[in-house]
Structure 1
Amino acid sequence: MEQNGEKYDSFRIAVPADYKEIFSHFYFAENKSNKTITKTLLPSYQTILIFNFGASAILNSKNNSHIEIERCIVLGTIRKAFDYSLPPNTKILVANFKDDAFYRFFGNSLLAKNLPVNPDELLNENCFTAMWYKLNKIVDVNQQVNYILEFCSFYIKERDKVAEQLLKFTKKNLNPIKSVASQNNQTERNIQIKQKKYFGYSAKEINRYQRFLKAIEYIGKSASKISKEDWFTIINDCGYYDQSQLINDFKYYINISPTEYLKFQQDICNPVN
């Protein structure tokens, strides 16, 4: 991919069918230019595992603090957008955990909530550092992905029954927490706690995010300009009460307005699409 004369390669890597419950996809990016390239990552409500090769990638927070990724780091659950920078000669490979997969691997989705953490600290082992050294010797990114998949297959636990019921709940006119609580003869509070433990977020949080995501997808499919009528369609089809609620969600998740997102979306990485 050529961007403003700068060489920047990025692409998604699909996962085999056997692993689709564990990872939504892998993402690879490499900066082969002589300038630092900065991108914005949209919220995904997923936990991600980042492997860094070459010069250290940099995570940029709102308070202007910077975190360097030397080898590997876990971020989760990604609730708000953040900027990341790739200096020259930097490569990153990102594994995107799906649904309850982080819990099935590490035992608690809240362990990495909103904080960058070394994955070895979550397991009290140096297995991820050891894996980084192995990956760093593999040239082909697809072979790197295969190595990660093979490694993870030995550690993934079976999905909990309640997590399965929450994931497969499709009755839109019913409250999933209340319904699953009734099925299991448990209180709604117990199911709420379990949802946060398995997935890292509440039902209310994910419903709001999915509404925002629907708006993002609509904008992504549209041309560079959206008419006044289109904005009303987005508000109605995505379940917003009015324009101010739409704007509030954009400010909350990515700190820019919907019209600003329309202008700058080419510089924003959407991990979901």
Structure 2
Amino acid sequence: MTSFFLTPTRKISSNVFGDLIDSICIYSYHFDKPMLIDLDGRPEGVFELVFQKESDIWQSSVIGDDWQLRDQAFIAGLHQSSYKLRIFPDTKIISVRFKPGGFKYFNPEKQDNFSNKRICISEIWGLKGKKLIERISNEEDENTKISIIINFLHENYNGERKSIIDNLVRVIIKNDGIVDLKKLADSCNLSVTHLRKVFREEIGLSPKKFSKIIKVNSILKKVVYAKEKRDLMNLAHSFHYYDQSHFIKDFKEIVGYKPTEYCDLVRKSGY
């Protein structure tokens, strides 16, 4: 069994719906030898619209052995912990990555209905979703597939769902997840309780859980430069982690490895 970090082989910045879609990522894996491949993935605080070649792709949480076969096309809501994919060679995946809060403009449901779930698009958009799956399956050209997906999103776009929560998401991301919930609530004249409710419905997770995901992903950009344990703790302190066990717990929950383990893996793999 060979293991890798989940990394796109092609990433296209979105020129359409730039405020709502971060990018379209292509994941393509080809190996001369027939073998199963394990990929490590982590939550990044985004919804994804995923299409995959009809090869079997299995997904499991890192800590468990709960492998489940993924649908051919689905929406992946916000999830809170790391996961693994098990794929065969010549597998190709297309993922439309929505910016936090972006998917609500294409589907009216409460976004926390998607939390920690993968839902087939035929369950979300009915017959339109089924026809989209058929069109993508019958098309060979990668760029044409992307055009079909973007046109579908145009047809389902509702631009009237803007709210104050969109601004709060930008504040959380700008501050690397280091925010005070009470101050966030005060900034939009909401009680903390009401903020939690509205945030979950529009983003998919509570503001505290979403902020933790953003914080750990921000740490990941710097953690590989920590050469000694002291460097790791200084980095943790800069992100307001003053208890080592709390830092390690949050990091492992999101990434699947302890900070030192992750650094070692990254250095060995060359990522």
For the criterion TM > 0.5, the same-fold answer is yes
TM-score, structure 1 normalization = 0.82
Q: 1:120 aligns with which of 107, 119, 122?
A: 122
Structure 1 distance, partners of 2:127, 2:264, is 43
Report whether the alignment pairs 1:197 with 2:201: yes
2:263 alignment partner AA: L
Structure 2 distance, partners of 1:16, 1:115, is 25
The more displaced of 17-26 and 171-180 is: 171-180
Q: 1:178 aligns with which of 180, 186, 190?
A: 186
The more displaced of 197-206 and 59-68 is: 59-68
2:20 alignment partner AA: I
Equivalent pairs counted in the alignment come to 256
| Structure 2 unaligned blocks of 5 or more | none
**Structure 1 residue matching 2:49: 3-state secondary structure:** strand
Structure 1 distance, partners of 2:268, 2:207, is 30
Match of 2:252 in 1: 251
Mark the CA change 1:70 to 1:197 in structure 2 (over 3 Å): closer, same or farther: closer
Tell me if the contact between 1:9 and 1:31 (Cα under 8 Å) persists in the aligned partners: no
1:176 alignment partner AA: L
**Structure 1 residue matching 2:158: 3-state secondary structure:** coil
1:4-83 map, 5 Å? 10-33=8-31, 34-61=34-61, 62-83=63-84
The more displaced of 34-43 and 162-171 is: 162-171
2:184 alignment partner AA: P
| Structure 1 unaligned blocks of 5 or more | none
Deviations 1:89-111 (A, max 9, x none): 32111121212122222222112
1:158-173 map, 5 Å? 158=159, 159-169=161-171
Q: Deviation at 1:253?
A: 1.8
Q: Deviation at 1:198?
A: 0.7
Mark the CA change 1:149 to 1:238 in structure 2 (over 3 Å): closer, same or farther: same
The more displaced of 92-101 and 66-75 is: 66-75
Structure 1 distance, partners of 2:170, 2:223, is 28
Q: Percent identity?
A: 16
**Structure 2 residue matching 1:106: 3-state secondary structure:** coil
Mark the CA change 1:257 to 1:165 in structure 2 (over 3 Å): closer, same or farther: closer
Tell me if the contact between 2:54 and 2:72 (Cα under 8 Å) persists in the aligned partners: no
Match of 1:103 in 2: 104
Cα RMSD, aligned residues only: 2.8
Structure 1 distance, partners of 2:105, 2:7, is 32
2:145 alignment partner AA: Q
TM-score, structure 2 normalization = 0.83
Q: Deviation at 1:266?
A: 7.2
Deviations 1:31-75 (A, max 9, x none): 322211110111112122221113121112343222222421222
The more displaced of 114-123 and 34-43 is: 114-123
The more displaced of 28-37 and 192-201 is: 28-37
1:201 alignment partner AA: L
Tell me if the contact between 2:45 and 2:214 (Cα under 8 Å) persists in the aligned partners: no
Q: Deviation at 1:131?
A: 1.2
1:191-270 map, 5 Å? 191-220=195-224, 222=225, 226-265=227-266
